[in-house]
Amino acid sequence: MNIEVSDLIFEARQITKNYPGTCALNCVDFSLKKGEIHALVGENGAGKSTLMQIMAGVLKPDHGSLLLNGSEIHLQNPNHAQHLGISLVFQELALCPNMSVAENIFTNIQPVKRLDFINFNEMYDVTRASLEAFGVELDPQAPLRNYNLATQQIVEIARAIQRNASVLLLDEPTSSIGSRETERLFQVIRTLRDHGVGVVYVSHKLDEVFKISDRITVLKDGNLVGTVNTRETTPDDVVRMMVGREFDKMFPQSKAVQTKPLLKVNQLSGKGFSDVSLEAKSGEVLGLFGLTGAGRSELARAIFGIDPPASGDILLDDRMVHITDPRQAMQLGIAYVTEDRKIDGLFLEMSLKNNVASTNLDAISQGMMINNRRLNTLAKEWTQNLQIKSRSVEQFVNYLSGGNQQKVLFAKWLARNPRVLIADEPTRGVDVGAKADIHALLHERARNGAAVMVISSELPEVMGLSDRIVVMRAGKVVGVFESAEATEEQIVACAAGATGNGKREYEVIQ
């Protein structure tokens, strides 16, 4: 691929980074053109985050060089990188929700007037104009917490641009937002590209990569596999470069065998949902789909007892149960894999084995004491069962890749052998290889007789995994589809409140 040197705004040449026992990057080359969106993809542990952090001044390479506009630079820290026009927007936003929108955008660079007092009027005016350029109208004085994650993502990008960023590094920018918000974010990114900003876009979502990027670079095990023009390749080609598997084999080929209803909810109402009735059968995967704010996660939290329902009934094996806290749900054989593994799911500063043990204390206890032999046996068993890549079961979870962290989250619940498994965004932030492993794992649980409920914002995932699909909108069930008979257009129309015939919403399909 021939690129004129004059086109390049930023380069990483022969970047190498080693950690004890691990080569994170091995002589990796990467280039970015002015006014280009360049996607960086690879499995978890491929070296993407390490390369991004080196390019942003967070880490220093052991070997190699960085060039900005053709001149070699030596980044001392992220502030130095920002001063040169290089900004990194992390997957976990570094914002202050209790501060105003303007204060977040102008953190540490507030305009001042005489006697060094902050010029709030100027700060509000510039904030308003900056966001309007992205097609977003916000109140600059409003607390940032008043706005959803997608809007906060745009605010963080606006903050980077306010620091005159010419190189913008985006790490999984859509991992926590829905499809509508993603499209608005894409419009912002395209606007930046049209104004000459070079954008590095890291994502595990290949459909997004092919929609937004101009070029794609693939890393595998710390090595550069190759760089391709997006228009000249296909998702299948990129997956083969990443993992050596075909894209259409990411979902299990055989569906689960449905039997009797195991879990039923009748006219359940609570925080964020109302009058929900559905059933999950033993041996099936039931998909829950809906747009942002549909109430899917709120329903799951109610079933698991985190936010107990206000009214309605929950039945297991046709027997009414009253679940007021997660401990009761666990005793009844219900497990809930939360959508945010870092905040609600894992103890990041604890070892892999202690995370697996956290929901299985009865199995590893002897009287009032923990039996270390049982603890190690349990952890090693599930590390092997789920093929978790770690140095040992003693390794702290925060040092594992995202895909392996997600597998640890599943391990701590699957070790309980749950009868009902609720998985909320089970593959968020993991690579296609780990996705395939998790998909197979969910189907295996169903084949073993569990009722599996999968909540996902990715419609292809819902359709590929599920036997039936429940669609929610504004806290209510608005459709139930047999996945083999439904189309993406039908499900999206149902979720968005569109009509099948122009006059009314879709009826529930039983």
pLDDT (0 to 100) of residue 505: 38
Strands across the sheet containing 86-89: 86-89, 167-171, 198-202, 37-41, 215-220, 223-229
Residue 99 falls in which region: left (phi positive, over 0), alpha (psi -120 to 50) or beta: beta
Which is nearest to 287 in space by CA: 183, 181, 185, 427?
427
Q: What is the pLDDT of residues 318-366, one digit of tens each?
A: 999 999 999 999 999 999 999 888 888 899 999 999 999 999 988 888 8
Q: Which domains does the chain have, with CATH numbers?
A: 5-245 (3.40.50.300), 261-333+418-496 (3.40.50.300)
* CA distance linking residue 40 with residue 24, whole number of Å: 15
Q: And the tokens for 47?
A: 């070296």
pTM of the model: 0.66
Looking at residue 95, its amino acid is: L
Cα–Cα distance measured from residue 313 to residue 202, given in angstroms and rounded to the nearest whole number: 43
Q: What is the mean pLDDT of the chain?
A: 86
Q: Note the pLDDT of residue 255.
A: 57
d(CA 320, CA 490): 34
Give the pLDDT confidence score for residue 178 in this predicted structure: 65
Nearest 5 degrees, angle CA 236-CA 239-CA 242? 155
Q: Residue 115: which residues within 8 A CB-CB, separation 6 or more?
A: none
- 162, pLDDT greater than 80: no
Range 281-304 average pLDDT: 90
Query: Would you place residue 506 in the very low, low, confident or very high pLDDT band (cuts 50, 70, 90)?
Result: very low
The DSSP code sequence of 106-171 is TTT---B-GGG-B-HHHHHHHHHHHHHHTT----TTSBGGGS-HHHHHHHHHHHHHHTT-SEEEEE
- Do 37 and 213 contact (CB within 8 A), yes or no? yes
| 198-202 vs 167-171, strand pairing mode | parallel
Task: Rounding to the nearest 10 degrees, give the CA dihedral for residues 145, 149, 155, 159.
Answer: 100
Using a 10 angstrom Cβ sphere, with 0-12 exposed, 13-18 middle and 19 or more buried, the burial of residue 485 is exposed
Beta strand pairing status for 63-68 and 215-220?
Answer: unpaired
- Measure the CA–CA gap between 284 and 318, rounded to whole angstroms: 17
CA 367/CA 364 separation, integer angstroms = 10
